[in-house]
Amino acid sequence: ARPVVLVDSQETGIRLVHTLMACAEAVQQENLKLAEALVKQIGFLAVSQAGAMRKVATYFAEGLARRIYRLYPDKPLDSSFSDILQMHFYETCPYLKFAHFTANQAILEAFEGKKRVHVIDFSMKQGMQWPALMQALALRPGGPPSFRL
């Protein structure tokens, strides 16, 4: 008898996020064959997820499929609507929060005891991590450093 191996939901969730990002990159680079294969894989991965993660992945997959098959509206989404969608994705995806927490922790450790901290954000639409870093810096023993973003 062969042992049954259950797919770990957390591992699948991480693969799902990576596949979503790879698919978006393929769409951006107009590699539509790859994007089509990835969006199908996203569908299979999303089925194994529960709750908000499944819902968000399904919405993103639908949006990517619309781009692949040119079913999107002629005029692009309002940037404020896009920002709202991004905030909802951030709120429902614990992996991004964990990545930001880990990065902030590394920054805090690297600048422990330093009087100045200068962060360069490459405008990757991931600025949601900075308020938590600023709060942690403000609360550190010895007072906050000079901070520049």
In the structure, what pLDDT confidence band is assigned to residue 38 with cuts at 50, 70 and 90? very high
- Topology, domain 9-80: Methane Monooxygenase Hydroxylase; Chain G, domain 1 (1.20.58)
More confident: 3 or 40: 40
Mean pLDDT, residues 81-108: 79
> Which pLDDT score, from 0 to 100, does residue 84 have?
76
Q: b/e per residue, 69-93, with b = 16+ CB within 10 A?
A: eeeeeeeeeeeeeeeeeeeebbebb
What's the chain's average pLDDT? 82
Contacts of 27 (CB under 8 A, 6+ apart): 35, 64, 67, 68
Q: How far apart are the first and last CA of the chain?
A: 59
Residue extent(s) of CATH 1.20.58 domains in the chain: 9-80
